Amino acid sequence: MVAVERHRVVVVGAGVAALSAALELGEATVLVDAGLGSGSSPWAQGGMAAALGPDDTPHAHAEDTVAVAGGIGDAAVAESVTGAAPEVIAWLRAAGARFDTDRYGALVLGREAGHRARRIVHARGDATGAEIMRSLVEAVRHNPRLRVQEGVTVLDLVRDEHDERVVGVVAQGAGGDLTLHLADAVVLGTGGYGHLFAATTNPAQVAGAAMAMAARAGIEVADAEFVQFHPTALAVTGADPLPLLTEALRGEGAVLVNDCGERFMTALHPDAELAPRDVVARGNYAELLAGRHPCLDARAAVGDGFPERFPTVFALAMGAGIDPRHELLPVSPAAHYCMGGVATDAGGRTARAGLWVVGEAASTGVHGANRLASNSLLEGVVMGRAAAQAIRAGWRTATATDDRHGPTATVPQRVRVARSAWSAIPADDAAELAAIRTLLWEHAGVVRDETGLRSGLAELARHAAGADGSAGNTVRNALVVAGLVLHSALERTESRGAHFRADHPEADPAQAARRIVRPQPAESVELIVEPATERIGESATDEVGVRDRAAMQAIMAA
C-alpha cells in the first residue's frame, strides 16, 4: 500500500519563487525538503532591482538586462519582468517586507554592476533576501488555505499514461515512505544547480532537482552551459558554501587588488570593478592562475561604516577572523547563479501541460548568457505570481463539468513515474557527491576548453556506471545535471556571457541563440491507482493500492 494525496495544486520549493506562487494562488499544498525559507533566497545580499528613481524607467532597466545578456537575452521577457518590478516592491511591502528607507520614508536606491542608474532596493543593508523571505514565510504560515508539508523530498514528476500531462509528483518522507501527490497543476521552484560546483555560494538544497526531474520526464531544458560565477566569494578554507561578498560593496566604491597591492580590473574593462560579473570573475581567476591572490579592498569605501551598512558581510568576515574595516578581504570566484534551467515562457509554463517551473529552476531567456545583478529575486517573484495567475485563470475558465481544474478526480487513473524513483531512495554517498562537484568545478568552471569538457564527460560516465541504480537522490540528480552542463558547454564552441571557452575565446554570431534540449526520457513504470472510497475536501488523503503494471504482467506471465 502506498499513500496517494490529492490536491488542487502542488508547489514544490521553499524560496522566493515558490512561496510567491503559493501566496498568489491562495490555495495550494507546498512540499518542502529542508523547511520553509531554506535554499538560496535568504542568502541574497545584493537586493532587488526596480526602476523607482525619477531618472529611471522600466524600459531602461530592461535595456540594461539585455545589454549584459551576451546577445541572446529575450527583450520581450525582460520588458515584462522589469515592467512588473515597481508593483512587486509594493506587493512585498504589503506582505510585510521592510526595505531600507531614508529619514523621509523614501526607499533608498543603490547601484550595482551593469545598471545605469541607482535602482537596487535593499533591506538591512545586505540582508535583502533574508528580509523578503521572512515576510513571505510569515504570510504562508498565516494563510489557512496553504497546507505546508516539510521534510518531504520530491523525487520525480508523475505523468499521465499518454505522457501528455504532468499530474503530480512522487515524494519520499523522512521515514522513507513514498507518496503520490496527484494534482491538477505542479509548480516547481526548487532553485538552480549551483551547489553542484565545488566552489559555490549556494547551499546544499540548490542541486538541480527541477532540471533533473524534467530531463527524466523528457521535458525541454535550456542553456545549461550558462552558469554565473560570482567574482567575490570570501575565500575561507573549508567553508561550503563560500560566504558571498555582495556586489553592492563594489557599487559603493570597493576595489579589487592582488596581494602585490595592484588594482588589476582597470586594465581589463572600462568599468573596472563594475564590469559585468563574468568579466570580473575571469579577472580574479586569472590572478589565481598567475599565483597571485585577489582581494577586495573596502577600507576607504566603507571602512568604519561596515557594521551598519553591510552587517551580514561584516559578521561573515569577522567570523573568519578578518576585520574588513582595516583589512583586505581575500576573494575567489564561485558558482553563484544558473541562467540555464527547465525551458519555460515568461510565466513559467513548460512544454508539458500541467507543469510550471519558476525562479532559478526555470530558463525564460530573460538573463540570456549572463544575469544582471539583483534581477534574480525580482524574476522569482514575478514568475511565481505569473504562474499562479495563469493557473487561476484556468480555474475560472473551466466548465462545471470539467474536473481537470478541480481536485484530481477519484477515478482509476494510470500514471507514469521514472522507474528509478519507484523504490525507497537510499541516503546520498557524500564522497560520491563531492567527486561530482569537483569534476564540474575543474572541467566546467570559470574557464573551459574541449579537452577538459571531454575529460569531464568521460569521468562522469564512470561515476554513472558505478552508481548502478543505487545512488541517493542528490547524486542521481547530479549525474543528470552535470551531463547536461558538460554536453552543452562542449557543443557551444564560442565564448558568450558567463560561458568562456579558452579554445574559442570569441563570440560566434552563428551561435547567438539559446540552446533548447529535449532529453531522452528515463525508463518509467506505469502505475494503476485504485479508486478511493471517498474524497475529503480540497486535499483528499487516501491510502490506496498502487501497482506496477509491468511487474504485474511479468508475474502473470510466469
Q: Model confidence over 338-367: pLDDT tens digits? A: 999 999 999 999 999 999 999 999 999 999
* Distance, C-alpha 382 to centroid of its chain: 14
Angle between helices 128-141 and 16-25 (to 10 degrees): 30
398, burial (CB in 10 Å: exposed 0-12, middle 13-18, buried 19+): middle
- The H-or-E segment that residue 542 falls in is strand 541-544
- The H-or-E segment that residue 443 falls in is helix 430-443
Is residue 403 scored above 60 in pLDDT?
Answer: no
Other CB atoms within a 10 A radius of the CB of residue 481 amount to 25
- The H-or-E segment that residue 551 falls in is helix 549-557
pLDDT level of residue 18 (50, 70, 90 thresholds):
very high
pLDDT level of residue 42 (50, 70, 90 thresholds):
low
Determine the pLDDT at residue 411: 45
72 phi, psi to nearest 5 deg = -130, 15
426: preceding bond cis by omega (within 30 degrees) = no
Is residue 534 scored above 50 in pLDDT?
Answer: no
pLDDT level of residue 410 (50, 70, 90 thresholds):
very low
Q: Across residues 92-118, what is the average pLDDT?
A: 91
For the chain, how many helices (H) and strands (E)? 14, 22
For 152-205, the pLDDT digits (tens) are 999 999 999 888 999 999 999 988 889 999 999 999 999 999 999 999 999 999
Determine the pLDDT at residue 257: 97
3-state secondary structure of 4: strand
DSSP 243: P
Q: Across residues 125-148, what is the average pLDDT?
A: 91
For 281-326, the pLDDT digits (tens) are 999 999 999 999 999 999 999 999 999 999 889 999 999 999 999 9
Percent of the chain with pLDDT over 70: 89
Computed from CA positions of residues 248, 329, 194, 20, in that sequence, does the dihedral angle turn out positive or negative? negative
Which domains are delineated in the chain? 2-227+337-409 (3.50.50.60), 231-334 (3.90.700.10), 430-517 (1.20.58.100)
C-alpha cell, 423: 523504490
Can 416 be counted among the known catalytic residues? no
Other CB atoms within a 10 A radius of the CB of residue 100 amount to 18
Determine the pLDDT at residue 216: 96
Can you name the residues that pair with 48 across neighbouring β-strands?
A: 121
Which of the following is catalytic: 8, 119, 277, 416? 277
pTM: 0.90
Is the distance from CB of 475 to CB of 428 less than 8 angstroms?
yes
List of long-range contacts for 424-428, beta carbons under 8 Å, 24+ apart: 424/172, 424/176, 424/177, 424/178, 425/153, 425/155, 425/172, 425/472, 425/473, 425/476, 426/470, 426/471, 426/472, 427/472, 428/471, 428/472, 428/473, 428/474, 428/475
Is the distance from CB of 449 to CB of 501 less than 8 angstroms?
yes
Is residue 553 scored above 60 in pLDDT?
Answer: no
Determine the pLDDT at residue 407: 44
Computed from CA positions of residues 265, 267, 268, 274, in that sequence, does the dihedral angle turn out positive or negative? positive
- Among 77-91, 380-394, 535-549, which is the least confidently predicted range? 535-549
